[in-house]
Amino acid sequence: MALRVRRGKWHYRFEINGHEWTGSTGLVASERNRKPAERIELEAKQAIEQGRSHILNVQAVPFTEAADKFLSWCESAHRNKPNTWRRVKTSFASLVVYFGRKPVNAVTQGDVADYAAWRANEHHVKDVTIRHDLHSLSKFFKYALKHNWCRDNPVATEDIPSDEGAVRMHVFTDREEKTYLSAAERHPKLRDLATLMLYQGCRPEELLAVKLPDVDLERRYLHIDGGKTRNARRDVRIRPECLPTMPGWSVRRRGDTSFAANAIH
């Protein structure tokens, strides 16, 4: 087997049973692309030996360009399931960064495994997030197969993290919110906490970590300093719906300045 350069790209040429086979890898003829080109050449030889020569006319498309087309299709295909579309779009924010302009047909199972490790080590995401990313990537390759951009789907199902222990989230409807707040009237402090979570968009642990000095009733701002990340530390404007929950914050109990002590107990 041998690679050669034609019009700036790596081409392969080899002979099997007296018949010469040639083709383009679609990769720019650079040393960086030599190994991926040799892999494509080897796959082409194996395909011919296995009687699958019909798959050799795969079109080499950069991952970024293929991703744009896939996301456009995905938005339309999931127009009745906007949450699914948003989840796929979120996953592709990191997938596009990692794979860049690498040809879709050059992505291997090893590359997929390396991506999962990159997400875990560099971004410190949980397994459930990697699971979402790999499912989105698998969906992408199924789309790519239909467009003849790749020969197979390199996302191996056994490498996708289990969803055991994954948190299932349920978004309340307006009716459910009203029902919950009405039932919470018997526990005013719990109702106040739920009201703040609902209208201020804060996590319960963020609110429970708030200190009285973080509440500026005059300017109507609430400082959140207990977020999970640096960006989570922020000032939020107190919405009118939450003002009735504020008076209790001005009374300290036994010198404790936390919201947990003043508004919950």
Q: Which is more confident, 258 or 156?
A: 156
Mean pLDDT of 49-74: 79
Query: Is the same domain home to 47 and 73?
Result: no
The band of 53, judged by pLDDT with boundaries at 50, 70 and 90, is: low
Query: Is the same domain home to 94 and 153?
Result: yes
Query: Is the same domain home to 132 and 180?
Result: no
Decide: 119 and 133 in contact? Cβ < 8 Å.
yes
Domain boundary among 117, 132, 159: 159
Three-point CA angle 257, 262, 265, nearest 5°: 130
pLDDT given for residue 264 in this prediction: 45
Decide: 63 and 97 in contact? Cβ < 8 Å.
no
106 Cβ neighbours under 8 A, 6+ residues apart: 27, 36, 39, 40, 60
Q: What is the DSSP string of 213-228?
A: GGEETTTTEEEE---S
What mean pLDDT is reported for the chain?
79
State yes or no: pLDDT of 193 exceeds 70: yes
Lowest-confidence segment of 66-80, 139-153, 218-232, 238-252 by average pLDDT? 238-252
Domain for residue 166, yes or no? no
Query: Is the same domain home to 52 and 118?
Result: no
Query: Is the same domain home to 94 and 30?
Result: no
pLDDT given for residue 250 in this prediction: 47
Query: Is the same domain home to 210 and 230?
Result: yes
Report how many domains make up the chain.
Answer: 3
Query: Is the same domain home to 125 and 200?
Result: no
Decide: 98 and 141 in contact? Cβ < 8 Å.
no
**Residue 251 DSSP one-character state:** S
Query: Is the same domain home to 101 and 144?
Result: yes
The band of 56, judged by pLDDT with boundaries at 50, 70 and 90, is: low
258 Cβ neighbours under 8 A, 6+ residues apart: 208, 209, 210, 211, 212
d(C-alpha 8, C-alpha 131), whole Å: 38
Domain for residue 164, yes or no? no
CA max distance for the chain:
92
Lowest-confidence segment of 7-16, 150-159, 245-254 by average pLDDT? 245-254
d(C-alpha 223, C-alpha 263), whole Å: 16
Decide: 16 and 48 in contact? Cβ < 8 Å.
yes
Domain boundary among 128, 159, 190: 159
Going 206 to 207 to 212 to 217, the CA torsion angle's sign is positive
pLDDT given for residue 76 in this prediction: 92
Domain boundary among 132, 159, 186: 159
Decide: 36 and 45 in contact? Cβ < 8 Å.
no
Give the closest residue to 22 by CA, choosing from 49, 47, 3. Answer: 3
The band of 251, judged by pLDDT with boundaries at 50, 70 and 90, is: very low
Domain for residue 168, yes or no? no
Helix H or strand E segment including 2: strand 2-6
Domain extent, residue 47, equals: 2-56
